[in-house]
Amino acid sequence: MAINFKGRCLLSLNDLSSDEVLLLLEGARVWKQQFYAGNKPPVLKGKTLGMIFQKPSTRTRVSFEVAMHQLGGQALYLGANDLQLKRGETIADTARVLSRYVDALIARVYAHQDVVDLAQYATIPVINALSDYSHPCQGLADLFTILEKKGTFKDIKITYLGDGNNVVHSLMFGIAKVGGYLCVATPKGYEPNAQVVALANAEAQKTKARIEIVTDPIKAVREADVIYTDVWTSMGQEAEHDQRIQIFKPYQINAQLTAQAKSDALIMHCLPAHRGEEITDEVIDGPNSIVWEQAENRLHLQKALLVQLMR
Ligand code: CP
Ligand code: NVA
């Protein structure tokens, strides 16, 4: 497939066409195979990735850094508090300057507009490493993990339970691009962003995907092949934590709830997990949990992405 990614940005999974998503999933498969064969071809030798983080990260930071290292390039961690951004230098000026030093940027931000501004003023590719709106690298790795385990997106039901947040937004865009069935169950008032629902549904019409938004967690998990959750309190929402744990209780993935799904329903979580809140130990540590492979797949998927954008 000849697709030109060079110089592009990835701010939302909806920026990609269905063919581009499928190409990245295939790339992840190949890079994973290479990894297990012990091959680390230095295809990004001499390239530098700048990594701006306004919020903490374990998986995203380490998987991008290791990916660059294994591809022969290097990564620079740029904590937002250590940059002149902290003292009022604008995002636009930061983007203009960093574009003259590094070959691509990833940015984890509170407000999505920050990564949009960065992309607007940078002259190099910019990748959203999580914003309050979306988490496209997570969404792509999730699709890859589902495809790896199930072999297809057709005729399987993926259920997401919990908060209508950045992670489910990317999952919705992703499923809409590849043509699967995603049932999202949230409490009233915590549904995914209405604009994301409309955009995902518009894409879903083209691929015959089905995106359902419901409130009943028990009905949502019935017949599910995959059950996915994320934290109830995202970074930046800490003040709402006590209220949220009360409201989201019926959406906890525990043995009682998973008993309503297919007996082999896979359990996914983007991590970090708040054990005892959105998921119980018995489920996350249980035989159907694929959360560690899901986390590993961030590395393989991001290699595919970096090579497409930077080579
Ligand atoms: N899933 C994810 O993005 O994890 P980190 O916050 O650790 O990067
Ligand atoms: N929704 C979570 C995802 C963390 C990877 C957050 O934004 O904090």
| DSSP notation for 251-279 | G-B-HHHHTTS-TT-EEEE-S---BTTTB
Close Cβ partners of 155 (under 8 Å, ≥ 6 residues apart): none
Q: Are the CB atoms for 125 and 8 separated by under 8 Å?
A: yes
| Ligand 2 centroid from CA 235, angstroms | 6
Which of 112, 167, 269 has most ligand 2 atoms within 8 Å of its beta carbon, as the pocket-test mutant? Answer: 167
Read off the tokens for 108. Answer: 């984890």
Say yes or no: CB of residue 166 within 6 Å of ligand 2.
yes
Query: Which of 158, 149, 209, 268 is CA-nearest to residue 14?
Result: 209
- Atom index in ligand 2 nearest the CA of residue 271 equals 5
Q: Please give the pLDDT value at position 1.
A: 57
- Atom index in ligand 1 nearest the CA of residue 137 equals 3
Question: How many angstroms separate the Cα of 282 from the Cα of each of 230, 258, 264, 279?
Answer: 16, 11, 15, 9
Query: Which of 7, 100, 105 is CA-nearest to residue 52?
Result: 105
Q: Please give the pLDDT value at position 4.
A: 84
Question: How many angstroms separate the Cα of 107 from the Cα of each of 24, 37, 78, 207, 224?
Answer: 20, 31, 9, 30, 34
Query: Which of 2, 304, 5, 32 is CA-nearest to residue 126?
Result: 5
Partner residues linked to 74 by β-bridges: 48
* pTM greater than 0.75 (yes/no): yes
Distance CA 178, CA 209 (A): 7
Q: Please give the pLDDT value at position 167.
A: 99
- Residues in the chain predicted with pLDDT less than 50, given as ranges, are none
Instruction: Return phi, psi of residue 42, to 5°.
Output: -80, 60
Buried b (16+ CB within 10 A) or exposed e, 55-79: bebebbbebbbebbebbebbbeebe
Distance CA 210, CA 184 (A): 11
Query: Which of 43, 47, 17 is CA-nearest to residue 30?
Result: 43
| Ligand 1 centroid from CA 208, angstroms | 30
Residues with catalytic function: 108, 135, 138, 230, 270, 298
Close Cβ partners of 286 (under 8 Å, ≥ 6 residues apart): 267
Distance CA 111, CA 54 (A): 10
Ligand nearest to the CA of 129: 1
Say yes or no: CB of residue 170 within 6 Å of ligand 2.
no
| Ligand 2 centroid from CA 229, angstroms | 11
| Ligand 1 centroid from CA 298, angstroms | 10
CB count in 10 Å sphere of residue 246: 8
Closest Cα to atom 1 of ligand 2 = 234
Query: Which of 178, 194, 175 is CA-nearest to residue 186?
Result: 194
- Report CA 290 to chain centroid distance, whole Å: 15
Q: What angle do CA 71, 166, 11 make, to 5 degrees?
A: 50
Q: Is 86 exposed, middle or buried (0-12, 13-18, 19+ CB in 10 A)?
A: exposed
Share of the chain above pLDDT 70, in %: 99
Say yes or no: CB of residue 270 within 6 Å of ligand 2.
yes
